[in-house]
């Protein structure tokens, strides 16, 4: 029986969790893998801290437990890449700089399997890494890169092969979902909720990527290219964060039986592919509306088997690490390598502006008679069916009201707003807020 030898590069929150699980489940993992799995080496700048946090022996660390300079770490990494005694490298450094990119690429080039939780790297610079893995016939395990503990990658890759994925929608960023949940359940403003999330450890000191939607976008891009066999790039996906969501938006959502969620959405229709990351009004009947706090959830609609929902922890040390260990076991069990079972279909990625959604359009106007008539007439003239018009929400001298449309395109809505501006140049006090409705 050949043993499978693992090296971990980066022993922080996730990498340390992997080392801990590999050591705690040692004999089970070997049984499950049908081969002994041996953790041989860890590269980490500060081994002492990691060893204490994850109860690891210091002699597992390159350098024997002493602090490493970046140069020393680099040279240990090169040793690992060139070693014949390592089969799998777990990359848990994070980031998208050249150092990490080259590390991932060189692991594949050396004929070793790569397991990573690095969604940003795979989404922005993954193409060459996947190509290199294919060329060298090695696995890339990236279950941990998308929604932490939720086994969405293997579900699509191994369990939906008797079907076709039609659409994906999901809550894929725990930080922003925690903020939106707190705004709703505790009546906080966006900034108060963000501070609370930071205090509770759900948001980083710099929460930019979480609240501007880009972290969620990375996950959507990875899921799309897996499910649809497409090669959509990050920059093609329109992404909008939650920074502009106000308490008033949250309150209004309740009025129309919705919760506001940051939704990743992708759909395949007639050879076209459409995707967006943005806040949406999610109808309360939709299970995604019920996902609170830092939990993640992915809803997949399939051609034959209909709707599936997977709910679980989107982050966390051991939670994410358990996905990495499952990838290691999978590689050990199945020598057969296959990055993506799906056809590279001839799908055209289309501009979000041409896709049909029902929308909520919120207008802020002066509090004058005739406003509603003018606005709804302009909307009707652009061939948009109106579902409901909400009552005015008066606020000092202004009035805010919302129009719920039947499915239409952003192009139609933009044209209607242009018509309103031409008919009454000073009527709209703010840029109207346009939010899709998810059923």
* Catalytic (active-site) positions: 219
CB of 344 to a second copy, least distance (A): 9
Of 77-85, 240-248, 339-347, 392-400, the segment contacting a second copy by CB under 8 A is: 339-347
The mark string for 261-300 relative to a second copy (x by CB under 8 A, - otherwise) is: --------------------------x--x----------
Q: How far apart are CA 384 and CA 387, in angstroms?
A: 9
| Interface positions, 293-332, toward a second copy (CB under 8 A) | 302, 304-313, 316, 318-319, 321-330
Q: How far apart are CA 160 and CA 170, in angstroms?
A: 17
334 binds a second copy (CB under 8 A): yes
Q: How far is CA 438 from CA 116, 140, 284, 407, in A?
A: 32, 33, 10, 11
H helices present in 231-346, as ranges? 247-255, 317-333
Q: Which of 31, 69, 208, 388 is close enough to bind a second copy by CB under 8 A?
A: 31
CB of 31 to a second copy, least distance (A): 5
Pick 165 or 413: Cβ nearer a second copy? 165
CB of 306 to a second copy, least distance (A): 5
Nearest-Å Rg of the Cα atoms of the chain is: 24
- The number of residues that bind a second copy (CB under 8 A) is 58
| Interface positions, 154-213, toward a second copy (CB under 8 A) | 154-155, 158-164
333 binds a second copy (CB under 8 A): yes
The mark string for 119-158 relative to a second copy (x by CB under 8 A, - otherwise) is: ------------------------x----xxxx--xx--x
Q: How far apart are CA 287 and CA 355, in angstroms?
A: 23
Q: 11 - beta bridge partners?
A: none
45 binds a second copy (CB under 8 A): no
Tokens 């696995």 correspond to what residue? 139
| Interface positions, 340-369, toward a second copy (CB under 8 A) | 341-343
CB of 229 to a second copy, least distance (A): 9
Pick 20 or 405: Cβ nearer a second copy? 20
Pick 175 or 362: Cβ nearer a second copy? 175
Let me know how many helices (H) and strands (E) the chain has, helices first: 15, 16
Q: How far apart are CA 281 and CA 331, in angstroms?
A: 40
Q: How far apart are CA 104 and CA 71, in angstroms?
A: 17
21 binds a second copy (CB under 8 A): yes
Pick 28 or 388: Cβ nearer a second copy? 28
Pick 2 or 336: Cβ nearer a second copy? 336
| Interface positions, 67-126, toward a second copy (CB under 8 A) | none
Tokens of 76: 């240990």
Pick 113 or 433: Cβ nearer a second copy? 113
Given a contact cutoff of 8 angstroms between Cβ atoms, the answer to whether 364 and 403 are in contact is no
> How many other CB atoms sit within 10 Å of the CB of residue 274?
22
CB of 420 to a second copy, least distance (A): 40
* CA dihedral (406, 409, 415, 420) positive or negative: positive
Return all residues near 18 (Cβ < 8 A) that are at least 6 apart: 8, 90, 92, 321, 324, 325
Pick 163 or 411: Cβ nearer a second copy? 163
Tokens 């690490």 correspond to what residue? 321
Nearest one of 80, 29, 25, 18 to 54, comparing CA atoms = 18
Transcribe 243-255 into DSSP letters. Answer: TT--HHHHHHHHH
393 binds a second copy (CB under 8 A): no
Q: Which of 16, 17, 174, 358 is close enough to bind a second copy by CB under 8 A?
A: 17
Pick 148 or 432: Cβ nearer a second copy? 148
Tokens of 6: 């693992």
CB of 238 to a second copy, least distance (A): 28
CB of 137 to a second copy, least distance (A): 12
Q: How far is CA 173 from CA 220, 236, 271, in A?
A: 11, 20, 29
H helices present in 110-187, as ranges? 119-136, 152-154, 174-186
Please state the φ and ψ torsions of residue 314, each to the nearest 5 degrees. -90, -10
Coil/strand/helix, residue 104: helix
CB of 309 to a second copy, least distance (A): 4
257 binds a second copy (CB under 8 A): no
CB of 438 to a second copy, least distance (A): 16
Name the residues that contact a second copy, by CB under 8 A: 17, 21, 25, 27-29, 31-34, 143, 148-151, 154-155, 158-164, 287, 290, 302, 304-313, 316, 318-319, 321-330, 333-336, 338, 341-343
């Amino acid at each position: 029986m050949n043993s499978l030898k693992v090296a971990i590069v980066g022993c922080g929150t996730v990498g340390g969790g992997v080392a801990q699980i590999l050591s705690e489940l040692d004999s089970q993992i070997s049984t499950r893998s049908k081969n002994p799995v041996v953790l041989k080496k860890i590269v980490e700048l500060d081994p002492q801290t990691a060893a204490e946090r994850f109860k690891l022996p210091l002699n597992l660390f390159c350098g024997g437990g002493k602090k490493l300079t970046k140069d020393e770490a680099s040279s240990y990494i090169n040793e690992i890449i060139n070693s014949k005694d390592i089969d799998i490298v777990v990359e848990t450094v994070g980031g998208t700089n050249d150092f990490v990119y080259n590390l991932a690429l060189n692991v594949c080039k050396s004929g070793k399997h790569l397991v990573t939780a690095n969604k940003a790297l795979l989404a922005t610079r993954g193409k060459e890494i996947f190509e290199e893995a294919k060329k060298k016939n090695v696995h890339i395990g990236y279950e941990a890169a998308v929604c932490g503990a939720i086994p969405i990658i293997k579900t699509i890759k191994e369990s939906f092969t008797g079907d076709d994925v039609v659409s994906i929608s999901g809550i894929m960023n725990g930080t922003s979902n925690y903020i939106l949940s707190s705004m709703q359940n505790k009546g906080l403003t966006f900034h108060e909720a963000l501070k609370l999330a930071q205090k509770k450890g759900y948001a980083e000191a710099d929460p930019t990527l979480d609240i501007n939607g880009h972290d969620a976008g990375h996950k959507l891009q990875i899921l799309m290219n897996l499910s649809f066999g497409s090669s959509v790039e990050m920059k093609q996906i329109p992404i909008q964060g939650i920074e502009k969501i106000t308490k008033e938006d949250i309150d209004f959502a309740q009025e129309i039986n919705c919760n506001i969620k940051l939704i990743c959405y992708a759909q395949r229709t007639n050879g076209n592919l459409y995707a967006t990351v943005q806040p949406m009004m999610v109808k309360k009947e939709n299970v995604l509306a019920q996902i609170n706090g830092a939990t993640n959830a992915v809803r997949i609609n399939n051609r034959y088997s209909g709707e599936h929902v997977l709910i679980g922890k989107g982050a966390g040390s051991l939670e994410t690490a358990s996905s990495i260990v499952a990838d290691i076991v999978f590689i050990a069990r199945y020598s057969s390598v296959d990055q993506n079972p799906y056809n590279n279909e001839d799908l055209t990625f289309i501009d979000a502006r041409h896709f049909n959604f029902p929308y909520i359009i919120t207008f802020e106007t002066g509090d004058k008679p005739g406003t509603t008539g003018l606005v709804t007439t302009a909307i009707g003239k652009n061939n948009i069916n109106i579902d409901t018009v909400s009552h005015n929400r008066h606020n000092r001298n202004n009035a805010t009201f919302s129009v719920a449309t039947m499915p239409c395109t952003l192009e139609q809505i933009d044209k209607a707003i242009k018509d309103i501006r031409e008919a009454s140049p000073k009527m709209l006090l703010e840029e109207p807020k346009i939010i899709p409705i998810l059923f």
